[in-house]
């Protein structure tokens, strides 16, 4: 089976760190031929780029290609967004916090409600932010309509949406998102960065 696909991937330069790299360069979509076949009971995949490279393997994810200027480029397969992991009970929140405390890592928790329009607009933007910190900083989501009120009161949540950073078994900081989603995301990013410098 063979088909032609158009790939839109971001590109990272693999030049030595002493060179400055313009990360704002937009890479045009790459036309590639994609084939799948089975041998030895394992499916094989092949990506062929006209005049450039071919990649063959069970699951090709990261591709290297030489450019006309002689530098090497790596196609970045990191996620664009990461779905926030749901927390549905007090026991689950305790487990998440205990695991984070054991690893000496923080966690971010979004407290939201289905009826909250700001929460609905904010969640996809936080999923994109979660991709920036993936996998070293997990992001979770609590729908306050689906958990006991005791859990919401324990976290001190009074407004929706509320984004909290938990570390060492305690709430360290929070952002209450009553304004535009992009401003809330910037405040959450600042909250995370402030925690990492402490």
The residues that are catalytic are 116, 119
| Distance set, CA 186 to CA 112, 174, 191 (Å) | 18, 13, 9
DSSP 112-181: E-TT-HHHHHHHHHHHHHHHHHTTTS-EEEEEGGGS-HHHHHHHT--SSSEEEEEETTEEEEEEE--S-H
Q: Please give the torsion angle defined by the CA atoms of residues 129, 134, 140 and 141, in that order, rounded to the nearest 10 degrees.
A: 40
Give the separation between CA 132 and CA 149, rounded to whole angstroms.
32
């Amino acid at each position: 089976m063979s088909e032609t696909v158009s790939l839109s991937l971001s590109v990272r330069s693999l030049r030595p760190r002493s060179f400055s790299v313009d990360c704002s360069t937009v890479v045009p979509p790459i036309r590639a031929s994609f084939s799948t076949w089975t041998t030895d009971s394992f499916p094989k995949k092949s990506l062929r780029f006209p005049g450039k490279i071919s990649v063959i393997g069970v699951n090709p994810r990261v591709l290297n290609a030489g450019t006309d200027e002689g530098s090497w480029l790596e196609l970045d397969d990191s996620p664009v967004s990461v779905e926030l992991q749901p927390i549905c009970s007090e026991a689950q929140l305790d487990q998440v916090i205990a695991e984070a405390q054991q690893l000496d890592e923080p966690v971010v928790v979004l407290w939201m409600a289905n009826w909250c329009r700001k929460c609905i607009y904010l969640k996809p933007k936080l999923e994109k932010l979660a991709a920036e910190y993936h996998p070293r900083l997990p992001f979770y989501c609590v729908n306050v309509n689906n958990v006991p009120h005791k859990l919401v009161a324990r976290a001190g949540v009074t407004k929706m949406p509320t984004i909290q950073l938990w570390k060492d078994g305690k709430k360290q900081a929070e952002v209450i998102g009553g304004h535009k989603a992009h401003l809330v995301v910037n405040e959450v990013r600042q909250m995370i960065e402030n925690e990492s410098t402490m």
